Amino acid sequence: MADLDLDPGALAALVEARHGDPFAVLGPHDVAGGRELRVMMPGAMGVQAVSGEQVSTLRPVHEAGLFAGRIPPGPYLLRIDWGNGVVQETEDPYSFGLLISDFDLYLLSEGTHQDIANCLGAQPMEVDGVKGVRFAVWAPNARRVSVVGDFNSWDGRRNPMRKRLEGGIWELFIPRLMPGAVYKYELLGPEGNLLPLKSDPFAWQVEPPPATASVVADIAAIPKPPRRERPANQAAQPISVYEVHASSWARGDGDIALGWEELGDKLIPYAVEMGFTHLEFMPIMAHPFGGSWGYQPLGQFAPHAPFGPPEHFARMVQRCHEAGLGVILDWVPAHFPSDQHGLAMFDGTPLYEHSDPKEGYHRDWNTLIYNLGRREVRNMLIGSALHWLERYGVDGLRVDAVASMLYRDYSRNEGEWVPNIYGGRENLESIAFLQELSRVIQQRCPDRLLIAEESTAFPGVTRKPDDHDGLGFDFKWNMGWMHDTLHYMQTDPLYRRYHHGEMTFGLVYAFSEKFMLPLSHDEVVHGKGSLIGKMPGDEWQRFANLRAYLSFMWTHPGKKLLFMGGEIGQVREWNHDRSLDWHLLDDPRHAGVQRLVRDLNRLYRDTPALHQRDCVAEGFAWSVMDDAANSVFAYLRFGEDGEKPVLVVCNFTPIPHQGYTVGVPMAGAWQEVFNSDAAIYGGSNMGNGGAVQATEEPSHGQPASLSLTVPPLATIILTPP
């Protein structure tokens, strides 16, 4: 070692895997008298440098695996003898220059790198004519970061990375590494402590749980989405969403979850036949625990591995589009699990989360809260949103748990939360993040949907971010409508007269935001039972109640969302480890509910008055809102000028009404285009014989009126011919 041109301290740091600047030691270096090459190959029997016809044998200079020697100028290959006849030839990772541009580093530091998915993480590429993988990770407080995997025996001494001081980014190009390689990062924390191996926050692919490593994705194999025309004003379009948990919609042989290919074969034609406009998947981002249903993700850029590689998910989206279905993904920028291989204390410090548990710990879900006041964290999440919208071409994101993001005291008692800088409870950093998110999406992909699951009265969720501090969402889940109306439907019809306002109250605020009406997975888990299980009465009444309620929902202002199983009258509560009970469709009552939902979707889509003015007051008028004694509701829906109006009449008692008068805007024939009590749906087949004549007798503030037969526990829909 006497002639090695290397400081002893640097040598010790290198062999002990604590050197923070490996390129200062490893690779080729000009020294007195020539060019010296140093490589760290623990376990190697010998190393040679091959420069054309010239072979230079490097001498071992430390028992830990450091080799060094003089080599001629110019390019070279390493020939590594691993013993037992195994010889590897490869380029030297430490012979390559800087990889990430200064402009990229500037954008990363500013938190404005909108193409971050193609900048950080594992990127297969060609550098100086050599194919390999460039790794890059943000860990500003780490003393040393190494890429480890099967390709280097998971030895952190082999491939330590170069730190770009400008942005706290560590980078390394490993030549000849191919897609499919499994890897993690090994880090020394700021105190020099060795941290648990970390998965790549920016990985495009991960191992299936319970394994936790990242995988080098074959990015070139992921088809790029073709350009797809979408309506500019989606508030005026029919949107009927089928919410799906991918691994429990249907199961394969051996009761295992289907992959994207098999799921698409069954789910896509089913959703099309049922008339839904969109599929919404509960989070398909990589998550370590299936029981979280995806709502505790760690891989914000990677599809969940058990369903197949990223290219299979991309093909699933394409197949949906080819069939005329939009795709919405649930997306979680609020919190993340504390698994030690994930984001928690990523570089030995609270990097992605808050340091104070009063801000950074979510007691409801035992998770950590993103520090959205940090620009790099915002950049990562906005980059994730764009990744799904642009790289995979999905049509929208439903942002989960927005209410928990908006308020610092969410689910916290007095003294357990930190006020904002003005002493208030609003989370100003989260509000700014959501506004930035909506602005970026509006700029980059203005035809995509951004939907909020938001359960409070926070104002302006669907207003533009520059319009009186709006958040910029396209739609907001109407949680109040869902809770009120479900409570009403669970009440015995004998007592519904005392809860009449629960069905009308939603119209008081229906046009204060652009709403989506959700009957989501949250209403059929944790002991809440199924939709059909909530309905009172005997078997006939339970099915009649469900049919009448779904018909009320499909004709009420607001876009629609129904969780899988609701359309077949699933009896048992949803179980994420079991398939839906498709055998129920052998029962005509369940098949009747399915047919009703299918017909409602088609009627909703084909009738402008039922969707064009979903979000404006001009699209709705009460005819009968105060008949609590009979639990009857009647209302009119209007489309744009020139479109035919629609009359909806709901009877939520088991008592039919003959000669029931309802005001309408015009005399003449009105067709009964839908009746939830029809025999084809399992009803008693009471109705108006397909048509009824309106007379010029004013009623309910309208110039004409109808005398109707209103079936028991039923909703009927009428329209002029």
Side-chain half-sphere CA neighbours of 669 within 13 A: 7
Q: Between the CA of residue 443 and those of 152, 229, 388, 439, 462, what are the distances in Å?
A: 43, 16, 16, 6, 16
Three-class SS state of 403: helix
- State yes or no: is 7 an active-site residue: no
Taking each helix axis from N to C end, the angle separating 375-386 and 428-444, rounded to the nearest 10 degrees, works out to 40
Options 400, 567, 672, 677, the catalytic residue: 400
Distance of alpha carbon 717 from alpha carbon 360, whole angstroms: 50
Residue type, 473: F
Which strands form 214-215's sheet, in the order they lie side by side? Answer: 144-149, 182-188, 214-215, 205-206
Q: Count the neighbouring beta carbons within 10 Å of the beta carbon of residue 195.
A: 18
Q: Any residues with CB less than 8 A from the CB of 479 and at least 6 apart, and which?
A: 453, 454, 455, 518
Distance of alpha carbon 182 from alpha carbon 179, whole angstroms: 9
HEC readout, 30-42: EECCEEEEEEECC
Residue 702 and residue 663 in contact, taking contact as beta carbons nearer than 8 Å? yes
Options 243, 330, 436, 453, the catalytic residue: 453
Beta bridge partners of 215: 182, 205
- State yes or no: is 618 an active-site residue: no
Beta bridge partners of 183: 149, 214
Q: Between the CA of residue 427 and those of 152, 407, 432, 542, what are the distances in Å?
A: 45, 5, 9, 43
User: How large is the greatest C-alpha to C-alpha distance in the chain, in angstroms?
Assistant: 111
For CA atoms 551, 556, 561, 563, the dihedral sign is negative
Burial 133-160, CB ≥16 within 10 A → b, else e? bbbbbbbbebbbbbbbbebbebbbbbbb
Helices (H), 225-356: 260-274, 310-322
DSSP letter at 249 equals S
Burial 597-619, CB ≥16 within 10 A → b, else e? bebbbebbbebbbbbbbbbeeeb
Output the CA torsion 288→294→299→302 (10° steps).
Answer: 110
Output the CA torsion 108→112→117→120 (10° steps).
Answer: 0
HEC readout, 378-396: HHHHHHHHHHHHHHCCCCE
CA 269, chain centre distance (Å): 23
Give the catalytic positions in this structure.
Answer: 400, 453
